[in-house]
Structure 1
Amino acid sequence: MIAMTSRSTPSPVPDRATYGFVSYLLCYILFGIFLIWTYIPRTYLEGIGLTYWPSKFTAVSIPPFLCVLFLVYNILYEGLIFINTAPFQSLDTISDSEKEKFDYLPRDAINPIEDISIINVNMTLYRSY
C-alpha cells in the first residue's frame, strides 16, 4: 500500500472554509450594526427598547483609531524584521554547497539573505572601485 502524503494547497480545507465564511458573514453583520448605531438617532433606538449604547463620539473615533493602529503595526513589524535580520558581515549569511536551492524564484529576483554565496559577499565587501 502506498502512503499518500499531504500537500499544502491554496484551497482551504472544509473546516477553514467554514470558519472563513462565518467570519465573512460576521464582519458584514457587525458592520451593519455599526452603521445602524452610527446613523439612527438615539431616540429611535430607545423607542424600540435599545437603551444602552456607547456615545456617538465612539462611532467617530473608532475608524481613525483603527487606521492609525494598522499603520503603527506595520511600522513596528518592519522595524522588528530589521532588528532580527543578521548583518551582512555575519557568518550566518554565508552558505555552502548544502544550501537550499531556490530554483522557483524568478531570474531577476533578489536572493534570500541567508543564501548569498561567498563569492558575492567577497565581491561586495572587498571590490575596489
Structure 2
Amino acid sequence: MSITLDTLPLPDDCLWQNEFDALPMAVATARTLSGRLVVSETALAAGRPIDLGGDDAWIVRSDLLTLHGWASTPGWSGTLRLHDGRAFSVRFRTQEEKAVETAQVRDTADPAGDDRYQLVTLRLETC
C-alpha cells in the first residue's frame, strides 16, 4: 500500500521518523497545600507530531512544489494515509521549524519539474 497526503502520492520509502517519540496524551501536575502530587492525564485530540522522510525518500520537484504550496496556505489541512492503512487528518507544523525540508539529489541551477530531491523531512501534526 502506498503513502499519500490528500491526492499526492509520497515516496514509498517515507518513514514516520518520530512515531514513538510522543505519547498521545497531555499531562499536568500540581501540588496541593499539603504537598500531595496531583496528576491529570487526558488523551490528545490533536497536535501529535508526524515527521516523514528518510535517506531513500526521493521526490520530484513538481510534487515538492505542491507540498510547499500547501504548507504556505494558512489553514490548510489534509488526510495522510500511511502504508499500513492508518489515516490521520493533518496540517503542516510551521510554528518553529521548516515544514518541508529537502535537498537536491544533483545540484541544478534551473531544475525541471521531474528533477529529484531527497525528502529529508516533512513535518506534520494531527488536527
Higher percent of residues as helix = 1
When Rg is computed on C-alpha atoms for both structures, the one with the higher figure is 1
Same fold (TM over 0.5): no
- Normalised by the length of structure 2, the TM-score is 0.19
- Normalised by the length of structure 1, the TM-score is 0.18
